[in-house]
Structure 1
Amino acid sequence: MAIRPWRATAIQMRSERATQAADAAAARAVIAGNLDRLIRLIETASASSAKPDLVVFPEFALQGPPLGRPVAEWIDWACATIPGPLTEPLQALARRQRIYIAGNLFEAPPEWPGRYFNSSFLIDRNGEVILNYRRVNTAAFPSVHDFMTDYLAVTPSDQVFPVADTELGRLALIPCGEINVPEVARCMMMQGAEVILHPTNSKFTVGQEAAKVARAAENMCYLISANVAGPIGFSPDNSILGGRSHILDHFGDTVAFEEEAGEGVGVTGLIDIERLRADRRADTGTHNPLLRARFEMYRPFYGAAEFYPPDQFLTVPMAGEQDTRTAVEMARANLERQRVLEPLTNA
C-alpha cells in the first residue's frame, strides 16, 4: 500500500539540567518540569492546523547531560527505564493524539546493573515503544561497545542498529554528534531505513551541519533534526545556544529550518516516502549513491580496522569519564600504527 506524504515536526525546546540540582530529589523535580514543558509543546504542535504525524524532541531534553557526575550517582539522580516513568506520559500522549513521538533519554536498564546508556526511542500511535537505540559512539558516557562481547551475545543483530518498519516508512534514530559517524547511518540504511530521526543538543559547528546533509544525501534518507532551544546541555554557564532544527529530504535539500534558538514547533514539513522510494530505484549514476554502491571493496579495510578497543568495561562497569583514558591512549597508539596519526617525536 502506498504511503501518503505525512508531516514531521521538530520540537525545539528549552531544557534544564538535573545535574545542577542540589540533590537527587531536586534533580527529579527538574526532570518532571522538563517533561511537562515537552508535553505542552507537543500538545501545541498537535493543536495546530499543521498537525504532525510524528514529532522529534531534542537529546538531553528531559534530564540534561551528567556533566561529569559519576555513573552510579547519575543513575540514581536521573536515569530511567525504557519503557518507564519518563516515557509513560509520552506514550499516553501518543495514544491520545494518535501521533508518533521520537526522542532521547538516559536509560538504566535493570538487565545491565551499574550501566546507563544514551538511548533514543520511538513511540507509535498506539503508545507502544517500538524502537530503542543505545548509542554506540560516545565520549563522556558509557557505551554498549564497552562490553560488546556480552551485549552482542544477547542482543539480536537487528536491534544493535535498529530500524522500525511502520505505516510512515522505515524509521531509525541517531542522536546528536553520532550523526558525524557515517557507519551508523550506513548500517541503518542497509536495513532499509528511509527516515533518520535526529534528537540533538549541540552548538553550531560547520562539520556537524555538513554531516546532517551528508548523512541524508549519501543514504537517500530524510533527516529530521530537533535541537535544544536556549543554551545547550554542555554549556553550564548558558553561554552557548542551540537552535538550527532542520528537516532535510533524501537529496540533502532543506524542507524546513530554524536558525534561531527560540522555543517553538515551527520546523515542520511533509515527508514523501513514495518519492524517496522511486528516486532510490532510478539509475542516475553517482547521483544515486545506493544503486551502484560497491560495498564489497571496503570490507577488508573495515575488517582490519582496530582502533578504539572494545570490552574495556566488560566485567566492571565504567565508574566515571576518567576511566576512559586508558582506552583513548590505546586508540591513539593503534591509530599511530596505522599511520592515521603521526607518532610524536622528541624535539
Structure 2
Amino acid sequence: MRERVIGAAQMGPIQKSDSREAVVSRMLALLDRAAAQGCDLVVYPELALTTFFPRWYMEDQAEIDGWFEREMPNAATRPLFDRAREHGIAISFGYAELTPEGHHFNTSILTDRQGNIVGKYRKVHLPGHVEYDAARDFQHLEKRYFEPGDLGFETFDNEGTLMGMCICNDRRWPETWRVMGLQGVELVMLGYNTPSVNSQNRGEGLSKRLYHSELSVTAGAYQNATWAVAVAKAGVEDGFPLMGGTIIVDPDGFVVARTTGEGDELIAAHCDMERCQFGKTTIFDFARHRRVEHYGRITSQTGVER
C-alpha cells in the first residue's frame, strides 16, 4: 500500500493591506495543524500569498509587479519551507511569479518533504479579460496581468507518487485532466480563488457555482482514476466574496473530505495511491480503449466550427 496523508489547507480572505509575512504566519499555523494530523503533504490555494489582485484595474507596471514574487523561496516564504522541512511535509501553493526575463505567470510549485522544489506549473487557461469592462459587476483581469503558462501539464514523481498540478479555471477543462491522466497521474493538486458571484450573471447563485466546481473536480478524478485535492481561498476579500468548497476526491470521483466554512481550515484524508490502479486498468485503460483517430478536432481547432 502506498498511502499518503494529504492535507488541504483552505485559507480565508487576504486583504490588500496584509503583508506576505502575516499571510505566511497563517500558512504556518495550518501546517502545524497538518503535522498534528500526520500529514505528509499539504496543498494551499492559488495566489496564497496575496489578495486576488486581478480584481483591480491597474496601469502602473511597478504597482502590478509589487504583487509578484521574483524568487521562491524568498525572505517572506523561507519560514514556510523551513517549517515544512522540520515537519517532513511536502507542500504545494500558488503565487504570482515574475521571472528574471520579465514574464508574469500565475504559478504553483510542489516540494518534497525536505523542502526542495520538485515541480512547477504555470496556469494555462486564463479566464477574464484585458481591458476595464464597465459591464461587469467587478473586474477579472487575469488576461491583463498574466501570460498563459508555458510549462504544459507535466507530472512529477514525488517520493513514489506521480503528482500533477493545475490552477483554478484549469479544473473546468477536461483536457487538463486527460493530459495528466495520459502520464499516469495519481494525484492532481489545484488551488482556486473563485468569486461567490458571477460578475456577468449575478443570478447564477453560490450553490450552482459550488456545484460546477465540485463537478469539474470529481469528473476529472473519476475519468482519469486519480486522487484530487481542490483548495480554495475563501471569504470576503477586499469587499468581494470568494467561495469555499475545498474538497479531497478519490479515484472513483467521491468526495472523502470537505471544508465547512470560508476561513482558514485544514482537512485531511488517508489516500491510498494503489486505489488508482483499478480504474487505470479497466474502464479507463487508455491503451486499450482510446480511439485517437477520432479526436483530431481537440487539437486542430479552438472555437466551434460546424
Change (3 A) 1:304 1:170: same
Q: Please report the TM-score for the alignment, with normalisation by the length of structure 2.
A: 0.82
Q: 1-side partners of 2:58 and 2:99: how far apart?
A: 19
SS at match of 2:50: coil
Quick check: 1:43 aligned with 2:44? no
In structure 1, the partner of 2:200 is: none
Equivalent residues in 2 for 1:106-117, closer than 5 Å: 106-111=96-101, 113=102, 115-117=103-105
Quick check: 1:176 aligned with 2:174? no
1:9 aligned residue (7, 10, 22): 7
Q: Please report the TM-score for the alignment, with normalisation by the length of structure 1.
A: 0.73
In structure 1, the partner of 2:70 is: 81
2:298 aligned residue (294, 298, 302): 302
Task: Give the unaligned 5+ runs of structure 2.
Answer: 128-140, 197-205
Percentage of matched positions with identical amino acids = 25
The Cα offsets for residues 304-339 of structure 1, whole Å up to 9 and x where unpaired, read as 3044xxxxxxxxxxxxxxxxxxxxxxxxxxx4xx25
Quick check: 1:133 aligned with 2:102? no
In structure 1, the partner of 2:51 is: 64
Query: Is the CA contact 2:108–2:165 (under 8 Å) kept in the aligned structure 1?
Result: yes
Q: 1-side partners of 2:65 and 2:147: how far apart?
A: 20
The AA in structure 2 aligned to 1:130 is V
Count of equivalent residues:
275
Query: Is the CA contact 2:27–2:80 (under 8 Å) kept in the aligned structure 1?
Result: no
**Larger Rg: 1 or 2?**
1
Query: Is the CA contact 1:34–1:62 (under 8 Å) kept in the aligned structure 2?
Result: yes
Q: 1-side partners of 2:262 and 2:278: how far apart?
A: 35
Query: Is the CA contact 2:31–2:84 (under 8 Å) kept in the aligned structure 1?
Result: no
Change (3 A) 1:229 1:304: closer
Higher RCO (C-alpha 8 Å, min separation 6): 2
Quick check: 1:218 aligned with 2:223? yes
Task: Give the unaligned 5+ runs of structure 1.
Answer: 22-28, 152-158, 308-334, 340-347
Q: 1-side partners of 2:298 and 2:73: how far apart?
A: 37
User: Higher strand proportion, which one?
Assistant: 2
In structure 2, the partner of 1:255 is: 256
Q: 1-side partners of 2:302 and 2:247: how far apart?
A: 34
The Cα offsets for residues 228-280 of structure 1, whole Å up to 9 and x where unpaired, read as 2423x5xx424x24221100001101111124223221x21011112212442
Quick check: 1:122 aligned with 2:110? yes
SS at match of 2:277: helix
Equivalent residues in 2 for 1:157-306, closer than 5 Å: 159-202=151-194, 203=196, 204=206, 205=209, 206-231=211-236, 236-238=238-240, 240-265=241-266, 267-281=267-281, 283=282, 287-288=283-284, 290=286, 292-306=288-302
Q: 1-side partners of 2:291 and 2:58: how far apart?
A: 41
RMSD: 2.3
